[in-house]
Amino acid sequence: MEVTPSQLFSLALKRHRIPWNWTVHFIGLIGFSLSLMLHSYLMFATSFIVLGAGFFELGLPQMRQGRWQRFVHDSVEWEKNWVAAPWNWRKIWRFIFVLTMIFLSLWSLIAQEPVAISLLLAFIYLLTIVRKNKEGGIDP
């Protein structure tokens, strides 16, 4: 049986949206970030193995209801909505912004710049506060 790249991609995307698999991918990305910061080749390889394991069918029971399950569900829904949205200038600018933030994060982790890392974390926290204020009706 031949598998085309588009079928393989759709299967990977379907598995990525399962809560346990999404959690395994999240742990793999945390490990990847730590490996960049600690310059650890073993942790780097381990994080890629964990990321790859997230694409397999894990066969775990349903995730219990709680904060983490709600966070995973909200993240997967946000990702589905973002992928389904048409490409317009706003989405392009957001994509460029996210790529820039990823580049700056990778650079600050590899260079072990504590000031840059703390500024990025403070910026993410500020964006969270602004988003919650807008949801609450406060427009800056």
CA terminus-to-terminus distance, the chain: 57
> Are residues 99 and 74 both part of a single domain?
no
Residue 77 — left, alpha, or beta (φ > 0 → left; ψ -120 to 50 → alpha)? alpha
The residue from 67, 85, 103 where one domain ends is 85
> Are residues 14 and 73 both part of a single domain?
yes
Per the structure, the count of domains in the chain is: 2
∠ CA 104-127-50, nearest 5°, is 55
What predicted TM-score, i.e. pTM, was given to this entire model? 0.77
> Are residues 51 and 81 both part of a single domain?
yes
**Full residue range of the structural domain in which residue 97 is found:** 86-140
In this model, does residue 63 exceed pLDDT 90? Answer: no
In this model, does residue 54 exceed pLDDT 80? Answer: yes
> Are residues 61 and 113 both part of a single domain?
no
**Number of residues written out for the chain:** 140
pLDDT attached to residue 28: 92
pLDDT tens per residue across span 105-136: 888 888 888 888 889 889 889 988 988 888 88
Which residue carries 């809560």 as its tokens? 19
pLDDT tens per residue across span 83-111: 888 999 989 998 999 899 889 888 888 88
The residue from 48, 68, 85 where one domain ends is 85
